[in-house]
Amino acid sequence: MKDIFDVTIVGGGPAGLFSAFYSGLREMKTKVIEYHDTLGGKLNVYPEKIIWDIGGLPPQPAGKVIEHLVAQALFFKPTIVTGEKIVSIDHEGQSFVLTSESGTKHYSKTIIMAIGYGLLKPTKLQIDGAEKFELTNLLYTVQNPASLKGKRVLISGGGNSAVDWANLLEPIAAEVHLSYRKDQLKGHEAEVTKLLASQVSYHNNHDIQALVASSTDSTQIERVILKETKTGALKEVEVDVVVINHGFEYESTIFDNNSVGLSTVEDYYIQTAASNMSEIPGIFAAGDVVKHDGKLHLIAGAFHDACNAVNQAKRYIEPEAYEYGRVSSHNDSFAEENKELVKAFFVD
């Protein structure tokens, strides 16, 4: 007998986790399939990075946000599958069949694609010989900011992650340099203003030209040579650690191997309506993989996507169901019966 779910959510990041919670509210039989061994998606890449854009939560480390999201997602007891990569989607009768790399098949009436930017592969620094420093002081994420106390740090990148890391490390590092190939940083305005008023040395219009190894240890970067993108002028910066924040590479296997006609735009994104419906009936999308005119690529936007996708999936299965579910702002009986849960969510 095939175990057919109402909705299968591909991806266990913020969009997928909130989709699991909301589908539980709507009493849908739910499964979450996550490629990595742990839930949390891209937030796991930088557990100490401060997350700013979730309503009702003060700025806090990504690791703490994951704890909240996972606890909420598990409340209605969805089936969770981790360490499994979905490589194809097909139809079988009235259901979809999702096949993993190991050959396992998952059956579902609807699918919510919440795969973010795909498998988490940081974009590597494209300089000959850079890989030999990856085991020492060339980093693509900062797992423990305290380990950089008193160090000379150069960060390469101009988006929110690079700006946030520079601001976070500036009070504890001996020096912080930020190199960006363009003139204007792309981070949130308040954080950019903070950075420009700080002691961070900002090298705009500069690319990393070369990494120079220590004379005593060929696996350690001692100096970085920066090249001015307009004039070609070179400058050297002495460093203890180099952090690269150049984004992530997209992984599109799941799109390349499907017989249901699911296609992408701009080589990766799923084009949806504002309601998060894809072009394929029964397949919906939430989070960073979504593309439409009003899409907001923030965690806050992922939560909105999740509710839309779940509501549409519910109506796909049950056309007479309410268009959307309402959640009361207060419920005395729930609070009394779930004191520990309420405490965990609202008391740090």
Q: Is 120 annotated as a binding residue?
A: yes
Query: What are 46-95's pLDDT values in tens digits?
Result: 888 889 889 988 999 999 999 999 999 999 999 999 999 999 999 999 99
Helix (H) or strand (E) holding 23: helix 14-25
Could you tell me if 262 and 88 are in contact, meaning their C-beta atoms sit under 8 angstroms apart?
no
241-245-246-251 Cα dihedral, nearest 10 degrees: 110
pLDDT on residue 332: 56
User: 42 among the known binding-site residues?
Assistant: yes
Are β-strands 234-238 and 221-228 bridged in parallel, bridged antiparallel, or unpaired? antiparallel
Asked, colleague to colleague, whether 4-120+249-346 and 124-246 share their fold, the answer is yes
Task: At 48, give phi and psi (nearest 5°).
Answer: -95, -5
User: What is the Cβ-side half-sphere exposure of residue 152, based on CA atoms within 13 angstroms?
Assistant: 9
Nearest to 214 by CA among 244, 242, 233: 242
Which DSSP state fits 38?
Answer: S
Q: What is the pLDDT of residue 346?
A: 43
DSSP labels, 122-175: EPPP-STTGGGGTTTTEESS-S-GGGGTT-EEEEE--SHHHHHHHHHHTTTSSE
322: annotated binding-site residue?
no
> In whole angstroms, what separates CA 105 from the centre of its chain?
26
Domain residue extents for the chain = 4-120+249-346, 124-246
- Predicted structure pTM score: 0.78
Res 331: pLDDT: 53
**Residue 335's pLDDT is what?**
55
- Return the pLDDT at 259: 83
**d(Cα 5, Cα 96) in Å, to the nearest integer?**
10
- Residue 329, annotated as binding a ligand: yes
User: Is 320 part of any known ligand binding site?
Assistant: no
Residue in the structure block whose two tokens are 């100096």 = 223
Mean pLDDT per 10-residue section of the chain, whose length is 348 residues: 93 97 96 95 86 89 95 97 95 94 96 85 89 94 91 96 94 97 92 96 97 94 96 97 89 79 84 94 96 92 96 96 68 59 48
Superfamily of domain 124-246: FAD/NAD(P)-binding domain (3.50.50.60)
Annotation-wise, does 22 bind a ligand? no
The pLDDT of residue 347: 42
Q: Which CATH number fits domain 4-120+249-346: 3.40.50.720, 3.50.50.60, 3.40.190.10, 3.10.20.440?
A: 3.50.50.60
